[in-house]
Every structure is written in C-alpha cells, then in structure tokens.
Amino acid sequence: MKAWTKLLISFAALLACGWIVHGPLGQGAAFVAGLQAEADAAVRASMAPPTRIAFGHDPLSRAATLSGSANDFQRNGMGLLPGITGTVAAVPGVGAVHWADAGSGGFVLPLLVETEALALLPWLIGIALGWHLFRPRRETFL
C-alpha cells in the first residue's frame, strides 16, 4: 500500500474519532452547555438587566448571541467596567459575542471544525514521533 493511502486512511480515522467524541458521545453539546451556564452566571453576577445568551446549536458553536433591553452603556461598558459583552467574552472558552439586534455576527466556525482542527496537531506530532521511533535499524554483527 502506498504511503499516501495509509496517511489518508489515518486521517479519515482521525476525523471519525473527532466526530464520534463531538456528536454521539455528546462532548460538543456538553461543552456548549457548560459555556451557557458560566455565561449566564457571569451576567447574573454583574447585576446587568436580564439578557438572553444563546450559543449556536445548529451547528454547535462557541459564538454567543445576546438579546435584551440593556442600553449601550450596559452592553459595552466604559473604562474598567466591561459591560455585558465584555463579561460574556471573558468567560473562558467563549469564541465570539454579538448582539442579535446589531446585525449578523459574521462567519462562525462550527465547534466540530474547531475540535477536528485541534486534534490535527497531536496527530501530526504522533506521526513524526512514530516515524522517528520505528525507523528501520541497521543490523550489525559486531
């Protein structure tokens, strides 16, 4: 079998593995649910007016869409006061934040794509490591 065929099969296995973890095993949904809970708690703690925080679910994403009756100052803050946008953006793991009434949030990368891209680096490191560790040794009789 040619080397590139082996690489292609391995890459397909990597993608399948990433999808199984993200989808059927529910890690993607669990990650977004965790972000939702943390963002809700952060906004509640900042005593801002009630704000609805919606993360992308179709497809799953780390981008938050905010909606509510907050005014411009409450939304964007001033100086050291972060405002609701800054508070949500500061939650670890949140990718992007935009307000529903401020137009579309632009292109959002699905969480599945981000997860697969993340798995690419250890996969490449593994290949390099395997290529080095399992190199053919010269047999000497001395």
Partner 1 sequence: MLTLAEFNLPLLVAALLIGLATGWWLRRRSNRN
Q: Which residues bind to partner 1, rule: CB under 8 A? A: 3, 6-7, 10, 13-14, 17-18, 21, 27, 31, 34, 62, 92-93, 111, 114-115, 118-120, 122-136
Instruction: Give the shortest CB-125-to-partner 1 separation in angstroms.
Output: 6
Could you write out the DSSP letters of every residue in 30-65?
A: HHHHHHHHHHHHHHHHTTPSPEEEEEEETTEEEEEE
Pick from 130, 113, 126, 123: nearest CA to 22: 113
- Taking the least distance from each CB to partner 1, the nearer of 49 and 122 is 122
**Cβ neighbours for 87, distance < 8 A, ≥ 6 positions apart:** 42, 43, 46, 48
- Taking the least distance from each CB to partner 1, the nearer of 59 and 126 is 126
Instruction: Give the shortest CB-87-to-partner 1 separation in angstroms.
Output: 16
Structure tokens given for 43: 């906004």
Instruction: Give the shortest CB-15-to-partner 1 separation in angstroms.
Output: 10
